[in-house]
Amino acid sequence: MIMPCWCKMGSTSIDVGGCPVADACVGGNGTDYCREGHEGPYCNLCLDGWTKDPLLLCRSCDNSLMDTVMTGVILFAGAMFFGGLLILFKRMTNGKKGLGKRLKNGGKIIFVAAQIMVNLPSIIPAMSMPANVKEAMKAASFLNVDVFNMIFGLFPCDSLDNDISLLRKDYSISCFDGGRGFWVMCGWSMVLVFPIGVVAMYYLVLRSKKARLTRNVEERLEDEEIAAQMFLWEPYKPEFWYWEVIETTRRLMMTGVLSTIEPSSFSQLAAGLIMNVLYLTILCQANPYNEKKG
Protein backbone atom coordinates (compact mmCIF):
# COMPACT_ATOMS: atom_id res chain seq x y z
CA MET A 1 0.00 0.00 0.00
CA ILE A 2 1.44 3.37 -1.05
CA MET A 3 0.29 6.35 0.97
CA PRO A 4 -0.82 9.67 -0.59
CA CYS A 5 2.01 12.06 -1.52
CA TRP A 6 4.32 9.05 -2.06
CA CYS A 7 5.01 7.01 -5.19
CA LYS A 8 7.45 4.72 -6.95
CA MET A 9 10.27 6.14 -9.04
CA GLY A 10 9.07 4.00 -11.95
CA SER A 11 6.91 1.03 -12.89
CA THR A 12 9.80 -1.42 -12.33
CA SER A 13 11.16 0.30 -9.23
CA ILE A 14 10.88 -1.11 -5.72
CA ASP A 15 11.83 2.14 -3.99
CA VAL A 16 9.17 4.57 -2.82
CA GLY A 17 9.85 8.28 -2.44
CA GLY A 18 8.06 11.55 -1.88
CA CYS A 19 6.26 13.08 -4.87
CA PRO A 20 7.68 16.37 -6.18
CA VAL A 21 4.05 17.34 -6.90
CA ALA A 22 2.22 15.96 -3.86
CA ASP A 23 -1.30 16.28 -5.32
CA ALA A 24 -0.29 14.06 -8.27
CA CYS A 25 0.16 11.05 -5.96
CA VAL A 26 -3.11 9.88 -4.42
CA GLY A 27 -1.80 6.57 -3.08
CA GLY A 28 -3.07 3.03 -3.60
CA ASN A 29 -1.98 -0.51 -4.40
CA GLY A 30 0.06 -1.84 -7.30
CA THR A 31 0.35 0.67 -10.10
CA ASP A 32 -2.81 2.58 -9.25
CA TYR A 33 -1.29 5.29 -7.07
CA CYS A 34 -1.22 8.28 -9.44
CA ARG A 35 -3.88 10.93 -9.80
CA GLU A 36 -6.13 10.56 -12.85
CA GLY A 37 -4.25 11.67 -15.95
CA HIS A 38 -0.81 11.09 -14.39
CA GLU A 39 1.66 8.28 -15.01
CA GLY A 40 5.38 7.49 -15.06
CA PRO A 41 8.17 8.22 -12.59
CA TYR A 42 6.94 10.18 -9.56
CA CYS A 43 3.55 10.39 -11.34
CA ASN A 44 5.12 13.31 -13.18
CA LEU A 45 4.01 12.55 -16.75
CA CYS A 46 0.63 13.14 -18.36
CA LEU A 47 -1.35 10.54 -20.29
CA ASP A 48 -2.10 11.15 -23.95
CA GLY A 49 -4.81 13.79 -24.23
CA TRP A 50 -3.80 15.45 -20.97
CA THR A 51 -1.54 18.44 -20.29
CA LYS A 52 -0.05 20.13 -17.24
CA ASP A 53 -1.60 23.23 -15.75
CA PRO A 54 0.42 25.99 -14.00
CA LEU A 55 0.43 23.89 -10.79
CA LEU A 56 1.94 20.90 -12.68
CA LEU A 57 -1.25 18.82 -12.41
CA CYS A 58 -2.49 17.04 -15.53
CA ARG A 59 -5.77 18.31 -16.98
CA SER A 60 -7.81 16.76 -19.78
CA CYS A 61 -7.45 18.43 -23.17
CA ASP A 62 -11.09 17.68 -24.01
CA ASN A 63 -12.55 20.63 -25.83
CA SER A 64 -16.16 21.67 -26.16
CA LEU A 65 -18.20 24.47 -27.65
CA MET A 66 -18.67 25.92 -24.17
CA ASP A 67 -14.88 25.99 -23.62
CA THR A 68 -14.41 27.83 -26.90
CA VAL A 69 -17.14 30.35 -26.08
CA MET A 70 -15.77 30.93 -22.57
CA THR A 71 -12.27 31.45 -23.94
CA GLY A 72 -13.58 34.07 -26.37
CA VAL A 73 -15.57 35.79 -23.61
CA ILE A 74 -12.56 35.87 -21.29
CA LEU A 75 -10.28 37.25 -24.01
CA PHE A 76 -12.82 39.94 -24.88
CA ALA A 77 -13.35 40.84 -21.22
CA GLY A 78 -9.60 40.97 -20.68
CA ALA A 79 -9.12 43.27 -23.66
CA MET A 80 -11.90 45.56 -22.40
CA PHE A 81 -10.45 45.56 -18.89
CA PHE A 82 -6.93 46.49 -19.96
CA GLY A 83 -8.29 49.01 -22.45
CA GLY A 84 -10.27 50.61 -19.64
CA LEU A 85 -7.19 50.67 -17.43
CA LEU A 86 -5.23 52.40 -20.19
CA ILE A 87 -7.92 55.07 -20.63
CA LEU A 88 -8.13 55.57 -16.85
CA PHE A 89 -4.35 55.82 -16.65
CA LYS A 90 -4.26 58.53 -19.33
CA ARG A 91 -7.03 60.51 -17.61
CA MET A 92 -5.43 60.27 -14.18
CA THR A 93 -2.00 61.27 -15.46
CA ASN A 94 -3.09 64.04 -17.83
CA GLY A 95 -0.68 66.85 -17.01
CA LYS A 96 0.69 64.95 -14.00
CA LYS A 97 4.00 63.47 -15.07
CA GLY A 98 4.99 62.54 -11.52
CA LEU A 99 1.84 60.50 -10.95
CA GLY A 100 2.14 58.82 -14.33
CA LYS A 101 5.72 57.81 -13.63
CA ARG A 102 4.85 56.37 -10.22
CA LEU A 103 1.95 54.35 -11.63
CA LYS A 104 4.05 53.05 -14.52
CA ASN A 105 6.99 52.09 -12.31
CA GLY A 106 4.67 50.48 -9.77
CA GLY A 107 2.96 48.51 -12.52
CA LYS A 108 6.32 47.26 -13.78
CA ILE A 109 7.29 46.02 -10.31
CA ILE A 110 3.94 44.24 -9.88
CA PHE A 111 4.22 42.63 -13.34
CA VAL A 112 7.75 41.32 -12.66
CA ALA A 113 6.72 40.00 -9.22
CA ALA A 114 3.72 38.25 -10.79
CA GLN A 115 5.96 36.58 -13.39
CA ILE A 116 8.22 35.20 -10.66
CA MET A 117 5.24 34.03 -8.58
CA VAL A 118 3.65 32.22 -11.54
CA ASN A 119 6.92 30.35 -12.12
CA LEU A 120 7.33 29.23 -8.49
CA PRO A 121 5.18 26.04 -8.74
CA SER A 122 7.44 24.69 -11.49
CA ILE A 123 10.59 25.66 -9.58
CA ILE A 124 9.49 24.53 -6.09
CA PRO A 125 6.68 22.00 -6.80
CA ALA A 126 6.28 20.90 -3.16
CA MET A 127 5.51 24.43 -2.00
CA SER A 128 2.18 24.51 -0.16
CA MET A 129 -0.27 27.23 -1.18
CA PRO A 130 -3.83 28.13 -0.12
CA ALA A 131 -6.59 27.25 -2.58
CA ASN A 132 -7.28 30.89 -3.48
CA VAL A 133 -3.60 31.45 -4.30
CA LYS A 134 -3.62 28.38 -6.55
CA GLU A 135 -6.61 29.74 -8.44
CA ALA A 136 -4.87 33.10 -8.82
CA MET A 137 -1.80 31.29 -10.20
CA LYS A 138 -3.93 29.56 -12.82
CA ALA A 139 -5.60 32.82 -13.81
CA ALA A 140 -2.22 34.53 -14.20
CA SER A 141 -0.60 31.67 -16.14
CA PHE A 142 -0.57 33.79 -19.32
CA LEU A 143 2.27 35.77 -17.68
CA ASN A 144 4.49 32.69 -17.69
CA VAL A 145 6.81 33.58 -20.55
CA ASP A 146 10.05 33.05 -18.64
CA VAL A 147 12.71 32.20 -21.24
CA PHE A 148 15.37 31.96 -18.50
CA ASN A 149 13.55 29.06 -16.84
CA MET A 150 13.06 27.24 -20.15
CA ILE A 151 16.74 27.53 -21.07
CA PHE A 152 18.05 26.33 -17.71
CA GLY A 153 15.53 23.47 -17.80
CA LEU A 154 17.66 21.78 -20.48
CA PHE A 155 20.40 20.85 -17.99
CA PRO A 156 19.31 19.16 -14.71
CA CYS A 157 18.60 15.43 -14.78
CA ASP A 158 17.18 13.15 -12.07
CA SER A 159 18.68 9.68 -11.55
CA LEU A 160 16.32 6.83 -10.68
CA ASP A 161 17.16 3.63 -8.81
CA ASN A 162 17.32 1.51 -11.98
CA ASP A 163 20.19 3.45 -13.58
CA ILE A 164 17.87 5.68 -15.57
CA SER A 165 18.46 9.42 -15.81
CA LEU A 166 15.57 11.61 -16.93
CA LEU A 167 15.37 15.30 -17.77
CA ARG A 168 13.86 17.00 -14.71
CA LYS A 169 11.79 19.35 -16.85
CA ASP A 170 10.24 16.47 -18.83
CA TYR A 171 10.43 12.90 -17.53
CA SER A 172 9.61 11.52 -20.97
CA ILE A 173 13.14 12.46 -22.11
CA SER A 174 16.13 10.31 -21.14
CA CYS A 175 19.40 12.08 -20.45
CA PHE A 176 21.19 9.10 -22.02
CA ASP A 177 19.43 9.44 -25.38
CA GLY A 178 21.54 10.02 -28.44
CA GLY A 179 21.77 13.66 -29.39
CA ARG A 180 21.57 14.81 -25.76
CA GLY A 181 25.02 16.39 -26.07
CA PHE A 182 23.82 18.52 -28.99
CA TRP A 183 20.89 19.90 -27.01
CA VAL A 184 23.10 20.61 -23.99
CA MET A 185 25.44 22.52 -26.30
CA CYS A 186 22.47 24.44 -27.69
CA GLY A 187 21.36 25.18 -24.14
CA TRP A 188 24.72 26.63 -23.16
CA SER A 189 24.73 28.65 -26.37
CA MET A 190 21.35 30.11 -25.43
CA VAL A 191 22.65 30.89 -21.93
CA LEU A 192 25.36 32.98 -23.56
CA VAL A 193 22.90 34.58 -25.98
CA PHE A 194 19.98 35.28 -23.65
CA PRO A 195 20.58 35.37 -19.87
CA ILE A 196 24.22 36.44 -20.00
CA GLY A 197 23.93 38.25 -23.33
CA VAL A 198 20.90 40.35 -22.37
CA VAL A 199 22.39 41.40 -19.03
CA ALA A 200 25.70 42.27 -20.70
CA MET A 201 23.91 44.21 -23.45
CA TYR A 202 21.92 46.19 -20.87
CA TYR A 203 25.12 47.13 -19.07
CA LEU A 204 27.01 48.11 -22.23
CA VAL A 205 24.12 50.24 -23.50
CA LEU A 206 23.76 52.02 -20.15
CA ARG A 207 27.52 52.37 -19.68
CA SER A 208 27.86 54.06 -23.07
CA LYS A 209 25.30 56.69 -21.97
CA LYS A 210 26.57 57.12 -18.42
CA ALA A 211 27.52 60.78 -18.81
CA ARG A 212 23.97 61.63 -19.85
CA LEU A 213 22.28 59.28 -17.38
CA THR A 214 24.02 60.76 -14.32
CA ARG A 215 22.62 64.25 -14.91
CA ASN A 216 19.65 65.47 -12.88
CA VAL A 217 16.25 63.89 -13.48
CA GLU A 218 14.74 66.79 -15.46
CA GLU A 219 17.66 66.96 -17.89
CA ARG A 220 17.57 63.21 -18.48
CA LEU A 221 13.88 63.27 -19.35
CA GLU A 222 14.41 66.03 -21.92
CA ASP A 223 17.40 64.31 -23.57
CA GLU A 224 16.28 62.72 -26.86
CA GLU A 225 19.64 60.93 -27.16
CA ILE A 226 18.71 58.49 -24.37
CA ALA A 227 14.92 58.42 -24.85
CA ALA A 228 15.03 55.04 -26.62
CA GLN A 229 16.61 53.43 -23.54
CA MET A 230 14.19 55.05 -21.08
CA PHE A 231 12.73 51.70 -19.98
CA LEU A 232 16.18 50.79 -18.61
CA TRP A 233 16.93 53.90 -16.55
CA GLU A 234 13.81 56.00 -16.03
CA PRO A 235 12.62 54.36 -12.75
CA TYR A 236 15.97 54.89 -11.02
CA LYS A 237 17.92 57.78 -9.54
CA PRO A 238 20.78 59.16 -11.70
CA GLU A 239 23.48 57.64 -9.48
CA PHE A 240 21.85 54.21 -9.94
CA TRP A 241 21.84 54.30 -13.74
CA TYR A 242 22.95 50.61 -13.73
CA TRP A 243 20.21 49.23 -11.45
CA GLU A 244 18.22 47.52 -14.21
CA VAL A 245 21.22 45.21 -14.67
CA ILE A 246 21.00 44.21 -10.99
CA GLU A 247 17.22 43.78 -11.20
CA THR A 248 17.47 41.59 -14.31
CA THR A 249 20.17 39.49 -12.64
CA ARG A 250 17.89 39.01 -9.63
CA ARG A 251 15.08 37.72 -11.85
CA LEU A 252 17.53 35.40 -13.57
CA MET A 253 18.73 34.00 -10.23
CA MET A 254 15.21 33.58 -8.83
CA THR A 255 13.91 31.66 -11.84
CA GLY A 256 16.52 30.07 -14.09
CA VAL A 257 19.36 29.44 -11.63
CA LEU A 258 17.08 28.35 -8.77
CA SER A 259 15.40 25.80 -11.06
CA THR A 260 18.71 23.93 -11.54
CA ILE A 261 18.86 23.01 -7.83
CA GLU A 262 17.04 19.85 -6.68
CA PRO A 263 13.35 20.82 -6.37
CA SER A 264 12.00 21.38 -2.85
CA SER A 265 15.35 20.43 -1.31
CA PHE A 266 16.81 22.28 1.66
CA SER A 267 19.55 23.60 -0.63
CA GLN A 268 17.01 25.11 -3.02
CA LEU A 269 14.93 26.70 -0.27
CA ALA A 270 18.04 28.04 1.48
CA ALA A 271 19.41 29.44 -1.79
CA GLY A 272 16.10 31.18 -2.55
CA LEU A 273 15.92 32.64 0.96
CA ILE A 274 19.51 33.88 0.84
CA MET A 275 18.96 35.49 -2.58
CA ASN A 276 15.83 37.31 -1.39
CA VAL A 277 17.28 38.50 1.92
CA LEU A 278 20.49 39.66 0.24
CA TYR A 279 18.63 41.58 -2.46
CA LEU A 280 16.19 43.09 0.04
CA THR A 281 19.09 44.27 2.21
CA ILE A 282 20.86 45.86 -0.74
CA LEU A 283 17.61 47.42 -1.97
CA CYS A 284 16.84 48.99 1.41
CA GLN A 285 20.35 50.36 1.76
CA ALA A 286 20.63 51.71 -1.78
CA ASN A 287 17.06 53.03 -2.23
CA PRO A 288 17.56 53.28 -6.01
CA TYR A 289 14.02 54.13 -7.12
CA ASN A 290 13.40 57.71 -8.20
CA GLU A 291 10.23 58.35 -6.23
CA LYS A 292 9.48 61.70 -4.62
CA LYS A 293 7.49 61.56 -1.40
CA GLY A 294 4.80 63.96 -0.43
Q: How many other β-carbons are positioned within 10 Å of the β-carbon of residue 221?
A: 14
Instruction: Please report the pLDDT score of residue 294 as a whole number.
Output: 44
Residue by residue, what is the 3-state secondary structure of the chain? Answer: CECCCEEECCCCCCCEEECCCHHHECCECCCCCECCCEECHHHCEECCCEEECCCCCEEECCCCHHHHHHHHHHHHHHHHHHHHHHHHHHHHCCCCHHHHHHHHHHHHHHHHHHHHHHHHHHHCCCCCCCHHHHHHHHHCHHHCCCHHHHHHCCCCEEECCCCCEEECCEEEEECCCCCHHHHHHHHHHHHHHCHHHHHHHHHHHHHHCHHHHCCCHHHHHHCHHHHHHHHHHCCECHHHCCHHHHHHHHHHHHHHHHHHCCCCCHHHHHHHHHHHHHHHHHHHHHCCECCCCC
pTM of the model: 0.69
Q: Could you state, in chain order, the average pLDDT of each consecutive group of 10 residues for the chain (294 residues)?
A: 75 73 81 85 88 84 73 82 79 64 70 73 70 67 65 84 82 84 88 87 94 90 88 91 92 82 82 91 91 56
Instruction: Please report the pLDDT score of residue 75 as a whole number.
Output: 80
Q: Assess if CATH 2.10.25 describes domain 6-60.
A: yes
Instruction: Please report the pLDDT score of residue 237 as a whole number.
Output: 92
